[in-house]
Structure formats: C-alpha cells, structure tokens
C-alpha cells in the first residue's frame, strides 16, 4: 500500500514494523524524538524519511474545537511560526486558518481527545482551551492545551502524558548502569549522577539510589572521539582526588565539574564533557567497542603520568616513504579534523631531494587561511588542503608564548584572537584564562631571523595601552627592537618565491615574484600587477598568476 504525503515528493510504502535500512527512526511529521514503534510509512528513495501510520494518513483539512469558526488547512510556512495550541516555535508545516492567522503544529492538531497513560491511574481528557496550568507530572507551568483527569484533580502536559505509554518505558535496562532503572516524576529538587541541576523527571535505581536524567540515559559507557583515536574514553561518574589535576574539557576548553559524569582516558589524562564527546563532529562513529574495551582500566590514582596531560599527535600515519636523505615522509594520514584520509600533495620521488615546494600550484590552507606553495595534505573529494605545519600541530599543545596548555576548540560565537585581534570561532583556547590563538597565530615561528639584522627576533605578546587586549610582534632583546609580524615575515610567509612555471601563453619560463612597489601592467588583462606576479626574466613580460592559469 502506498500514499502520497503532501510534505514529501516520493510515494511512501506501508510497513508493519520499522525497517532496518532506516538512517532515521523518528517521525518527520510530528517530530516526536522517540523511535517509531509499530506500523509506519517510509520512502524507498530517502532512507531518512519515515512517518507514523497515523501521521501519514493525517487529513489535509480538519475542524478543531480549539478553533471552531473556520476549518484548518495544511499549510507550508516559509518562516518560523508559533503554535496556538502549545506556544511552541516551529517551522515548515501547520494546520492554518488564513482568516485568523491561527496555527496548530501537527502534533497538537492530532492529540487524542481521551487517552490512557501510565503516568496516572485514570483516563485523561484533553482540554482544548488556552489556559494556564501547572503540570502535576513535571511541576512546570504551562499555557495551552492539557490533559485532565475528571476523577481527581490531576493535570498534565500532553508531552508528559506520553512519557510513560508502556511498561517497557517505565522500567528499563540501560548501558550506563548495572541495575534496572525506574522512571520517576513530580520530584522538584534532586541531583543526578551525570549532571548537577534541579530536575523534574529522571530514572532511579532502587538498589543503589543511582539517579539519571531521561536525556542522559542513552550515554554509552565507552566512546571514541576523533581527536583522541589512541584509546577509547570511559564514562565515569566523578574524578577522584589525586587522580588528575586536569579539569578542563579537551574539546571545548571549558571547565569540567569532575564531581559528575565525564568521559576519561586514564592513560593520557584526557577528559571531556559528556555532551562534547557525543556531538556529530567529535564522536568517532566508526568505533565499535570490543570486549576488552568494555573493561574500565584501573590504575594507581597518584600515578606520575596523571600529573600532566600528554600532547597527542594530530594524525595517524597510514602510509610513509623514506626519502633519499633518509627522512621518513608521511604520505597518507588520518587527521583528527577530517573523516577521509589526507594525501601529501605530489610527494617527491623516492630518489628526489625534497625542496619543500608544492609542484602543482598555489593553494590556500583551510586552517590558517594563508596562501602557500609548499606541501599540503589534501582530500580531493572534499577540496580540503592543510599545509604541513597546520596538519602537524597537535589539538592540545603548549605554546612558547603562554604558560598553560592550549586546546583546539570551537566556540558557540566568535572569539577574538589574542595575537592578531581577528574574530574566529575555531581556535586554540586556554582553559585557565581568556588567552586564545587562531591557526594563523598558533603556527607562527617562535624565533626567526631577518636579513640585515644580526640577532634573532623572538615572538612576544604585549598588552596594548588603550585596551584590555594583547598584540603580537617580533622583538630583538639584544637591541630592544620591536617589529611588526608582517615586516619580519612578509605578506606571504608560506610562499617560496623564485619558482618557475611553464605556461601555454608564453614561450619562456615564468618566475613567481612579489611586486611591492613597481606595478607593471599585466600583458593579458592590462591591469597593474600587484603582489603575486609571474614575470619573464628574458623579456618584458608580466602577468597576474590568475590570468595564466
């Protein structure tokens, strides 16, 4: 049996049970977060699209007691809308009255008039009026439709009435605990083992008083994260005194409350928040726990190696070659920041001396955003390039300019780099203070030389006179001589000038140069040649690099 639903372009096939090929298990119509149980409709073409049977068969027009004046028509919204049944914010589809600008989201529109629920002993009746109330199950105040018991004064949110619709949900076995857990509600102040906060509904173990949020019940005992592929992380419920002095999440660089649940690798003193380890970007989806992984490693809590965390390598070598100079060259790697293997671009022949040049063309590094013609690690499928320096920097490391370890993390908003004052979301943050470096500043040379000057210049950070920030510069201690970064490194520090190109539009080899003061006209487009330019040493020919590609 097939139906054509208004919200999907392909026909939907009826199934008695949830099919194993589904990449999504919750209903795309009513948006209930729990997996569909029983009959449903799914799309053969789209493995992610699935609907409850009742949702798939929902009408395109209905009469609702909450809005008796006019019929409600199924309507596609271009913007977010507020449901007049529950005051929730929704997008996409609603049952809509154009005369009154009245909306009901699909879930509110399909609520049953009466229902049985394991959260209460008597049948519950839906009150289709917009009234303020206090839910007797979760203790939260609400405004809108609610279920009421006509036998006793029991009032409950529609969502709360569905929390316990079967005996299997009332008592469950969960991976995070050894005993059965019972769903409890209407408790106003309590503390759970995984997260400290006031709660209303939770699972409780009658054998050992273990308490856990409903949303925390699905945390696995063991996970792997992409930036720590060396070992799995164990779920622990607190960090004992003396076990570690490290209290900063090594994904987000924020403080971890070690009195509650966290993921921890005791071998590397690597700890992270529960929610950080479970994000789509950080969790290693390919990891399948083996029997030996399920045993939590017990070690001496005052072991010396726990006193400080280990700077971890940023990638795993998948393939390498030994060059003519005896140096091992990593030509294929699995970098923590990318799902696919990265290949060293145009690695030199096994008998060829490496000069550090990218033999194809210039590229822009996806991490530091600098242009370069050195080697890069590249994913051709995703058009990702990391220069060798950025690919080799650890996601947790000690920078010469700062006393604390820096952790590569992504902020919810934009942060200001302590080195260059640029705004960035992704950077190396200190968990102890507000110091943060973007990739460009984190990969600067700590010490460098400058042509005519006899002493080395050291990278330093100093407070600005008129602000709370800091600025980076190079400084010669012998001469008390400061200098701007660009004045020492140049505008293109990762480009090696002097490389020659053979192009079709000119008979001679062209040399890559930087034009800083004289700007000859490009022989192709006639505009002045500034910065990166290709010029001929044998004749008066200059052209933009982009014009020669």
- In degrees, to the nearest 5, what angle opens at C-alpha 476 toward C-alphas 441 and 514? 55
Can you tell me whether residue 531 is helix, strand or coil?
Answer: strand
Ordered DSSP codes for 317-368: EEEEEE-TTS-EEEEEEEETT-SS-EEETTPPPTTS---S--SS--EE-TTT
Look at residue 228 and tell me if it is in a domain: yes
Look at residue 254 and tell me if it is in a domain: yes
Look at residue 308 and tell me if it is in a domain: no
User: Which pTM was predicted?
Assistant: 0.52
Which of these three, 383, 408, 434, is where a domain ends?
Answer: 383
Q: Are residues 435 and 476 in the same domain?
A: yes
Look at residue 334 and tell me if it is in a domain: yes
Q: Are residues 47 and 78 in the same domain?
A: no
Look at residue 167 and tell me if it is in a domain: no
Look at residue 466 and tell me if it is in a domain: yes
- How far apart CA 516 and CA 491 sit, in angstroms, is 10
Name the domain count of the chain.
6
With a cut of 60, say whether residue 505 has pLDDT above it: yes
Q: Are residues 70 and 17 in the same domain?
A: no
Instruction: Look up tokens 């017990």; give the residue.
Output: 298
Cα 239 to Cα 213, 269, 275, 372, 387: the distances in Å are: 20, 11, 17, 45, 38
Which of these three, 89, 110, 131, is where a domain ends?
Answer: 110
Ordered DSSP codes for 171-226: EE--TT-SS-EEEE----S---SSS-S--SSEEE-TTT--EEETTTTT--SEEEET
More confident residue, 470 or 548: 548
Per-residue b/e over 260-291, b at no fewer than 16 CB within 10 Å? bbbbbbbebbbbbbbebbbeeebbbeebeeee
Token digits of residue 497 = 């000038």
DSSP state of 486: H
| CATH number of the domain residue 77 falls in | 3.30.60
Which of these three, 383, 409, 424, is where a domain ends?
Answer: 383
Give the pLDDT confidence of 430-443 residue by residue, as tens digits.
Answer: 877 888 888 888 88
Q: Are residues 523 and 450 in the same domain?
A: no
Give the pLDDT confidence of 316-343 residue by residue, as tens digits.
Answer: 888 888 877 778 888 898 887 787 889 9
Tell me how far apart the terminal alpha carbons of the chain are, to the nearest angstrom: 57
Q: Are residues 406 and 370 in the same domain?
A: no
Give the pLDDT confidence of 204-230 residue by residue, as tens digits.
Answer: 777 777 778 777 777 888 999 887 877
Q: Are residues 473 and 404 in the same domain?
A: yes
pLDDT category of residue 139 using cuts at 50, 70 and 90: confident
Q: Domain range for residue 476?
A: 396-489
Look at residue 377 and tell me if it is in a domain: yes
Nearest to 332 by CA among 345, 322, 319: 319
Look at residue 9 and tell me if it is in a domain: yes
């Amino acid at each position: 049996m097939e139906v054509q639903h208004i919200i999907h372009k392909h026909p939907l096939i009826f199934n008695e049970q949830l099919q194993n090929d589904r990449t999504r298990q919750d209903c795309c119509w009513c948006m209930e977060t729990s997996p569909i149980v029983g009959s449903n409709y799914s799309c053969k073409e789209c493995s992610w699209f699935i609907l409850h049977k009742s949702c798939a068969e929902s009408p395109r027009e209905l009469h609702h007691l909450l809005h008796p004046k006019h019929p409600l028509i199924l309507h596609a919204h271009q913007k977010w809308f507020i449901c007049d049944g529950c005051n929730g914010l929704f997008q996409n589809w609603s049952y809509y009255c154009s005369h009154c600008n009245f909306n009901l989201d699909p879930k509110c529109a399909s609520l049953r008039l009466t229902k049985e629920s394991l959260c209460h002993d008597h049948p519950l009746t839906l009150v289709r009026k917009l009234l303020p109330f206090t839910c007797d199950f979760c203790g939260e105040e609400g405004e809108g439709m609610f279920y009421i018991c006509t036998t006793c004064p029991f009032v409950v949110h529609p969502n709360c009435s569905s929390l316990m619709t079967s005996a299997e949900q009332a008592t469950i076995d969960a991976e995070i605990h050894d005993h059965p857990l019972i769903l409890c509600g209407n408790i106003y102040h309590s503390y759970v083992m995984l997260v400290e906060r006031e709660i209303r509904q939770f699972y409780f173990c009658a054998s050992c008083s273990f308490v856990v949020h409903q949303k925390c019940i699905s945390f696995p005992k063991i996970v792997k994260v992409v930036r720590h592929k060396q070992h799995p992380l164990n779920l622990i419920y607190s960090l004992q005194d003396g076990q570690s002095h490290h209290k900063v999440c090594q994904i987000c660089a924020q403080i971890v409350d070690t009195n509650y649940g966290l993921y921890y690798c005791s071998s590397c003193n690597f700890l992270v928040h529960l929610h950080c380890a479970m994000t789509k970007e950080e969790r290693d989806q390919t990891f399948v726990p083996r029997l030996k992984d399920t045993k939590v490693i017990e070690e001496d809590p005052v072991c010396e190696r726990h006193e400080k965390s280990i700077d971890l390598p940023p990638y795993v070598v998948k393939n390498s070659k030994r060059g003519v100079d005896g140096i091992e060259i990593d030509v294929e790697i699995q970098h923590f920041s990318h799902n696919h293997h990265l290949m060293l671009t145009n690695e030199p022949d096994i008998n060829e001396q490496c000069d550090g040049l990218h033999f194809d063309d210039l590229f822009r590094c996806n991490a530091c955003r600098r242009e370069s013609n050195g080697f890069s690690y590249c994913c051709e499928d995703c058009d990702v390039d990391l220069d060798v320096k950025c690919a080799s920097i650890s996601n947790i490391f000690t920078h010469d300019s700062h006393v604390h370890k820096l952790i590569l993390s992504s902020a919810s908003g934009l942060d200001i780099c302590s080195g260059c004052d640029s705004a960035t979301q992704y950077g190396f943050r200190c968990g102890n203070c507000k110091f943060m470096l973007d990739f460009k500043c984190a990969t600067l040379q700590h010490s460098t030389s400058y042509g005519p000057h006899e002493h080395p210049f050291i990278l330093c950070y100093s407070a600005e006179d008129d602000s709370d920030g800091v600025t980076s510069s190079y400084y010669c201690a012998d001469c008390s001589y400061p200098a701007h970064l660009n004045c020492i490194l140049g505008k293109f520090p990762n480009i090696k000038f002097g490389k020659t190109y053979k192009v079709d539009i000119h008979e001679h080899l062209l040399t890559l140069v930087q034009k800083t003061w004289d700007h000859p006209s490009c022989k192709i487009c006639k505009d002045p040649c500034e910065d990166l330019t290709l010029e001929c040493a044998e004749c008066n020919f200059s052209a933009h690099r982009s014009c020669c590609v």
